[in-house]
Structure 1
Amino acid sequence: MSSYVARASLGLASAMRKVGSALDGAGKGIEITKYTEKLVPSTRFVAVDGIGPTVSAECFVAPSASVIGNVSIGKGSSIWYGATIRGDVNEVTIGDRTSIGDRSVVHVAKIQGDFPTHIGSGVTIGPGALVHAATLKDGCVIGEAAQVMDGAVVEEKAYVAPASVVTPGTKIPAGELWAGAPAKKVRALTEAELSSAAEAVLQTAILAQEHAIENAKDYKQILEEAELADIAEHLDESSPRKPIKDINDVLGQGPPGRIFRSTLTHPYEAGKKN
């Protein structure tokens, strides 16, 4: 009996796939605008209780990133591969030109203090970091695998060192370096360090646009580019090439030691001929 049910289920599934494919083709045929199948489709934007993310068209959100619920992201920001931003029980706001690194998690709190997460502009959050119901002001840096916990506030241009833990309710003043678990003040940041952090924000924004362009391509564009690259390589191989001159060549007779019976290797023979 179980084998009969399994076969029936497989047959029904196959029939439904065929019907779905037929409906998809019919839908494409009556669309007003051209349908484009992306190379890497993704359900990265998810609504919760009817509230979905508000993301600027100038952002880069990687295909494997997830943006969920009441989240707003400003212009030029980037959400990198594997990152998760979850505004399901409270809101998350992210300013302009802020980068959320690979595999980072940004979340909120409802039960303990009812904290949202507010992230300013020009903020850099390193790979694997956790920002939970905290406030990050403009220009601050959260290092790789660092944690900033509920109710914490990181002021402008402050730096939390990699793998550090900023405990709940901690306030980090502007322009300071904090490190450790729990994080403590180490020193004030230098002008060179502040300048370097600002430059990194610009470079990351440029890099994000390059990734956005590549991820927006469909499979046809990928194939066309591969074909053009193949043609260019073929033309380069078939074009005549100038012979490479041997740096050891002497008077056009080859390198010393490899010249067969020349005046250079056997000068006494040249004298006999004269």
Structure 2
Amino acid sequence: MSSLSARIAVAASGAARKIGAALDNMGAGMEVAKFTERLVPSTRLVSVDGVAPALSGANNFIAPSASIIGNVTIGEHSSVWYGATVRGDVNSVTIGSKSNVGDRAVVHVAKIQGDFPTKIGNNVTIGAGAIIHACTIDDLVVIGETAQVLDGATVGTNAVVAPASIVTPGTKIPSGELWAGSPAKKVRALTSEEIASIAESAHDTLELAYLHAVENSKDYKQLIEEEEDRLDRKLRKDAWFDPNIPDPEDVLGQGVPGRIFNSTLTNPEEGLKMKAERNAKS
């Protein structure tokens, strides 16, 4: 598709969206009996028997497709990723700060088999697809992808459960050890480098959670503006001047010496004001 054809397509799509919105508003105004479109209720946060999940605040990242159900408490800077389920329906689930529950992981509790809650400490990384069921996981632990930690088990501080391992009910994993297998058994003690990497893993996931939280907080208007901006930049020629991008040859917000049309030398105070606003945004 040529550049001209692409620009025509972009303009036509924008016009079509505006016409569609206008028709929708006109139709709504003509309705005699108002129609309310009912959407599927969100399962991100669900109460059970009047008990709602308790989150520390806006610094948690709960993915749109994750489900936090019932008596669940989550500490600061912790995250629950896409498709994961944390369900405290028959007992309580407690997750500390800076911990993360990976994609499609399941955290649950038990009422019949010993009445065990689930307790997850600080700086814990739970891998994608893992099952954490009615157990206790201390601070600074890594549970590998698709691993299972079952009823009454305890995983000590600075320990690692290898991917696809099964920690059987009642097992106690001491601090500083690597366990693997089905059933999981001690493989060896962790090195100092491996222990240090546990905290690094939690920190790296925390930074990624901040990025996803920002993206997921955008409304549809922001997404449309970003898409239009992306298409605009894709179709622009390199020689076109973009006033939103600072010129590296700019001098104190006054423009580029010897260049016209982008200079504010006639009103230097305006140039300094523009530069301050630009720096504040970046």
Same fold per superposition (TM over 0.5): yes
8 Å contact 2:43–2:68 — kept in the other structure?
no
CA deviations over 1:204-232 (Å, ceiling 9, x no partner): 00000100110111110001111222222
Q: CA RMSD in A?
A: 2.1
Using a 3 Å threshold, how does the CA distance of structure 1 residues 18 and 110 change in structure 2: closer, same or farther? same
TM-score (norm 1): 0.72
Matched, 1:19 2:20: no
Determine the C-alpha separation between the residues in 1 that align with 2:45 and 2:69: 6
- Show the counterpart of 1:208: 209
Amino acid at match of 2:156: E
Using a 3 Å threshold, how does the CA distance of structure 1 residues 16 and 203 change in structure 2: closer, same or farther? farther
- Show the counterpart of 1:224: 225
- Show the counterpart of 1:45: 45
Determine the C-alpha separation between the residues in 2 that align with 1:16 and 1:73: 46
> What secondary structure, in the 3-state scheme, does the structure 2 residue paired with 1:93 have?
strand
TM-score (norm 2): 0.70
Matched, 1:91 2:92: yes
> What secondary structure, in the 3-state scheme, does the structure 2 residue paired with 1:145 have?
coil
CA deviations over 1:21-70 (Å, ceiling 9, x no partner): 5xx9xxxxxxxxxxxxxxx9833110000001001221100000000000
8 Å contact 2:43–2:66 — kept in the other structure?
no
Matched, 1:132 2:133: yes
CA deviations over 1:242-267 (Å, ceiling 9, x no partner): xxxxxxxxxxxxxxxxxxxxxxxxxx
Compute the displacement of 1:174 (Å): 0.3
> What secondary structure, in the 3-state scheme, does the structure 1 residue paired with 2:210 have?
helix
CA deviations over 1:172-227 (Å, ceiling 9, x no partner): 00010000111000000011111122111111000001001101111100011112
8 Å contact 2:154–2:173 — kept in the other structure?
yes
- Show the counterpart of 2:55: 55
Aligned-pair identity (%):
61
- Show the counterpart of 1:67: 68
- Show the counterpart of 1:193: 194
> What secondary structure, in the 3-state scheme, does the structure 2 residue paired with 1:20 have?
coil
CA deviations over 1:137-170 (Å, ceiling 9, x no partner): 0001100000000000000010000000000000
| Structure 1 residue runs without a partner (length 5+) | 1-14, 25-39, 241-274
Matched, 1:120 2:121: yes
8 Å contact 1:41–1:63 — kept in the other structure?
no
Amino acid at match of 2:215: E
8 Å contact 1:101–1:125 — kept in the other structure?
yes
Determine the C-alpha separation between the residues in 1 that align with 2:109 and 2:151: 8
Determine the C-alpha separation between the residues in 1 that align with 2:177 and 2:128: 21
> What secondary structure, in the 3-state scheme, does the structure 2 residue paired with 1:224 have?
helix
Amino acid at match of 1:187: R
Using a 3 Å threshold, how does the CA distance of structure 1 residues 186 and 209 change in structure 2: closer, same or farther? same
Determine the C-alpha separation between the residues in 2 that align with 1:106 and 1:171: 18
> What secondary structure, in the 3-state scheme, does the structure 2 residue paired with 1:203 have?
helix
Matched, 1:234 2:259: no
Determine the C-alpha separation between the residues in 2 that align with 1:188 and 1:201: 20
Q: 1:150-161 residue pairs with structure 2 within 5 A?
A: 150-161=151-162
Amino acid at match of 1:20: T
> What secondary structure, in the 3-state scheme, does the structure 1 residue paired with 2:183 have?
coil
Determine the C-alpha separation between the residues in 2 that align with 1:102 and 1:93: 18
- Figure out how many residues of one structure are paired with residues of the other and give that number: 209
Determine the C-alpha separation between the residues in 2 that align with 1:46 and 1:106: 15
8 Å contact 2:178–2:188 — kept in the other structure?
yes
Q: 1:174-189 residue pairs with structure 2 within 5 A?
A: 174-189=175-190
8 Å contact 2:75–2:95 — kept in the other structure?
yes
